[in-house]
Amino acid sequence: MTQTVGHFIGGETVLTQGRTQPIYNPSTGAVSGEVELASAATVEQAIANAAAAYPAWRETPPAKRAQVMFRFKMLLEQHADEICELISREHGKVLHDAKGELQRGIENVEFACGIPQMLKGEHSKNVGPNIDSWSEFQALGVVAGITPFNFPAMVPLWMWPAAVMCGNTFVLKPSERDPSSVLRIAELAIEAGLPKGVLNVVNGDKEAVDTLLQSEVVQAVSFVGSTPIAHYISSEAAANGKRCQALGGAKNHSVLMPDTDLDNAVNAMMGAAYGSCGERCMALSVAVTVGDEIADRLVAALKEKIAGLKVGSGLDNSNDMGPLITAQSRDRVKGYIDAGVEQGAELVVDGRDISVPGHEDGYFVGATLFDRVTEEMSIYTDEIFGPVLVVVRVDSLQDAIDLINRHEYGNGTCIFTRDGEAARYFCDQIQVGMVGVNVPLPVPVSYHSFGGWKRSLFGDLSAYGPDAIRFYTRRKTITQRWPSSGVREGVVYSFPS
């Protein structure tokens, strides 16, 4: 019997007998269950539960909220193997990769535990005669998050723990492609003591998203996904008077200088380009080589490494790379490889015809490598979101910087070099939000914030870290006066100074 994944509303699992769509195991291509797609009425039910829970949760002392979050962190650690298996079965990523994802999510929960200290306002005594002034950071109310398939556990944990620690209640709309780990995590939050209704989860498609965006109750929306959808979310949120942070797509470049420690750089790039089958917004998908000598060495070394890459089921922890999440994703990536060949790029390693014994119907694409790619080719311009790495050759560091700065995306980048002057110049001149120096995936730790530039981020504040507190609260400034008893003052018509 096919298992149906429903919603999590008011602390309870909810099945509405509405529209559904299949859930697939990407390693086999088989249907593993089905997920309900929320109607507008179901989403409104979740919003109503969040609104009902808000007054009491807002008044809960921050230290007591933190106690819940500490217990929640412990439960995530205790149930890590269970959660990671759910991720792997529905997303396809290898178990060790899923564990890395979950650990990054847990680090954001750890940060959220310390938010009470960051909610302290500012106070000034005697800004005027017997006048004191101070600011407070108050919760917004009901807020929402819309999260992608590629990090079903981590990205929701970027959002709702910080939001609820600031005193808000939350409605989460995760990806309907791999929903089970999100719902299990929501159950653990209730087990940790989170009051019912503070966190609600609705699975769904555009109908669910639009209901959140159009709701007069929802005050803010966080989003991670592709740039076209991020732009839509941002525009609709603004039109409906909501605060919004919408993280979009990426085309992350790595620059290799002639003095690069090539062995270390190749190992780093292999993981950054092909880990999680390239389905990461921080995946390295472009290698920009400064000079032909380093380019030739890089391509030869990558080709040799790719030959030893082990591809297979995500549930086999000995594998390096699993499948893509859907047949459509597989076909899309193969279409980009076809286009690269047609447009004249040199195909060094072709991953289109890979076959995994025992998993012939899985959604696999092997690691693919192109050389001599040029700026107008679609394999360079577009976010492929698959295991495709392209090499672009330039003559100088300035050429590399100019190339990256011309691209519409500005999410992440890195430089491999032993030259501190070159690294410092690169970090200063590059128009990208997250930069690594000999670090291929410069994802900020939980107590910094994550966000790109240009068309990789719509909104003024990045995700998690200090920016999350500013996003999920608003400042209220209070000016108070207690004049001495018996003092009578006349009317003053000039502006106070």
CA neighbor of 435 nearest in space, from 402, 412, 452, 458:
412
Dihedral of alpha carbons 441, 326, 236, 464, sign: negative
| Angstrom distance (rounded) from CA 267 to CA 215 | 48
Q: Structure tokens of 478?
A: 């209070």
| Angstrom distance (rounded) from CA 95 to CA 80 | 11
| Angstrom distance (rounded) from CA 189 to CA 183 | 10
Is residue 334 within 8 Å of 111, Cβ to Cβ? no
Residue 320: CB atoms within 10 Å: 18
Task: Name the CA dihedral angle for 364, 366, 370, 376, rounded to a multiple of 10 degrees.
Answer: 10
Cα 211 to Cα 13, 151, 159, distances in angstroms = 20, 23, 19
Residue 70: CB atoms within 10 Å: 15
CA neighbor of 416 nearest in space, from 251, 250, 272, 249:
272
The DSSP bridge partners found for residue 436 are 414
CA neighbor of 453 nearest in space, from 276, 250, 277, 268:
250
Phi/psi of residue 403, nearest 5 degrees:
-60, -50
- Active-site residue, selected from the candidate residues 84, 281, 414, 427: 281
CA neighbor of 247 nearest in space, from 412, 427, 414:
412
Is residue 479 within 8 Å of 133, Cβ to Cβ? yes
Whether 281 is catalytic is yes
Is residue 173 within 8 Å of 209, Cβ to Cβ? yes
| Angstrom distance (rounded) from CA 189 to CA 72 | 6
Mapping DSSP to helix (H, G, I), strand (E, B) and coil, where does residue 496 land? coil
Cα 421 to Cα 378, 424, 437, distances in angstroms = 33, 5, 12
Residue pointed to by tokens 């128009």: 431
| Angstrom distance (rounded) from CA 493 to CA 497 | 12
Q: Structure tokens of 365?
A: 């694409």
Residues labelled as active-site residues? 281
